[in-house]
């Protein structure tokens, strides 16, 4: 049996913050504002997995009113959600994600992001797709004010 889930996330880009995507720190003069580390790609993926499980969303599981999650490493949050899926009898089949960011170009970082995510998801790199697009100079992404990510995930029931 299969389950499908979708997630998306947006963070404002501001001075004095690090830019982290898929658990990878990317050199840039600005970073993502947010209660946790602001990793929009990983947050979109967490929402996709929770959605596939019909388990609400990231804000329900890791509320920003809880100081426990302040500056949290989002890869650790992802690991907890993967564990939750396993508890419900599911493993990750594959994921497909798109990061939207005007600058910097992400092309050279895609492989490292895929590797990071695959490790935390306990699946093959070949089951983790990360794509990058710009906002073509339009909207908040295009003006360089935000980073946005979309993710789709397929869960597979663990055969017993
Ligand atoms: Zn987020």
At 160 the pLDDT is 66
Task: Report the candidate in 39, 148, 48 with the shortest Cα–Cα distance to residue 98.
Answer: 148
CA 10 – ligand 1 centroid, Å: 6
Structure tokens at 44: 């979109």
Maximum distance among all Cα pairs of the chain, rounded to whole angstroms: 50
Burial class (CB in 10 A: 0-12, 13-18, 19+), 13: buried
Q: By percentage, how much of the chain surpasses pLDDT 70?
A: 99
Average pLDDT over residues 111-124: 97
Query: Rounded to whole angstroms, how far apart are CA atoms 154 and 156?
Result: 7
Q: Is residue 75's pLDDT more than 70?
A: yes
Q: Is the pLDDT of residue 65 over 90?
A: no
Cα-to-centroid distance, 151 and ligand 1 (Å): 12
Tell me, in angstroms, the distance from the centre of ligand 1 to residue 114's CA.
Answer: 18
Q: Model-level pTM?
A: 0.96
Query: Rounded to an integer, what distance in angstroms lies between the CA atom of residue 65 and that of residue 87?
Result: 26
- Name which of 63-67, 83-87, 109-113, 155-159 the model is least confident about: 63-67
User: Judging by DSSP bridges, how do beta strands 128-133 and 90-100 pair with one another?
Assistant: parallel
Q: Are 148 and 9 in contact (CB under 8 A)?
A: yes
Distance CA 32, CA 104 (A): 13
User: In this predicted model, what pLDDT tens digit does every residue of 13-61 receive, in sequence order?
Assistant: 999 999 999 999 999 999 999 888 999 999 999 999 999 999 999 999 9
Q: How far does residue 159's CA lie from ligand 1's centre (Å)?
A: 33
Q: How far is the CA of 160 from the centre of ligand 1 (A)?
A: 35
When the pLDDT of each residue in the chain is averaged and rounded to a whole number, the result is 96
């Amino acid at each position: 049996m299969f389950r499908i889930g979708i997630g998306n996330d947006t963070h404002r880009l501001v001075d004095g913050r690090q830019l982290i995507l898929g658990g990878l720190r990317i050199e840039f003069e600005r970073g993502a504002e947010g209660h946790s580390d602001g990793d929009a790609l990983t947050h979109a993926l967490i929402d996709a997995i929770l959605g596939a499980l019909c388990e609400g969303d990231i804000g329900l599981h890791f509320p920003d009113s809880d100081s426990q999650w302040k500056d949290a490493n989002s890869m650790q949050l992802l690991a907890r959600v993967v564990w939750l899926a396993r508890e419900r009898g599911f493993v990750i089949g594959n994921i497909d994600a798109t990061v939207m960011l005007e600058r910097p170009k992400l092309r050279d970082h895609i492989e490292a992001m895929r590797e990071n995510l695959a490790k935390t998801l306990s699946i093959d790199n070949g089951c983790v797709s990360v794509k990058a697009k710009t906002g073509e100079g339009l909207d908040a992404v295009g003006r360089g004010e935000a980073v946005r990510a979309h993710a789709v995930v397929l869960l597979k029931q663990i055969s017993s």
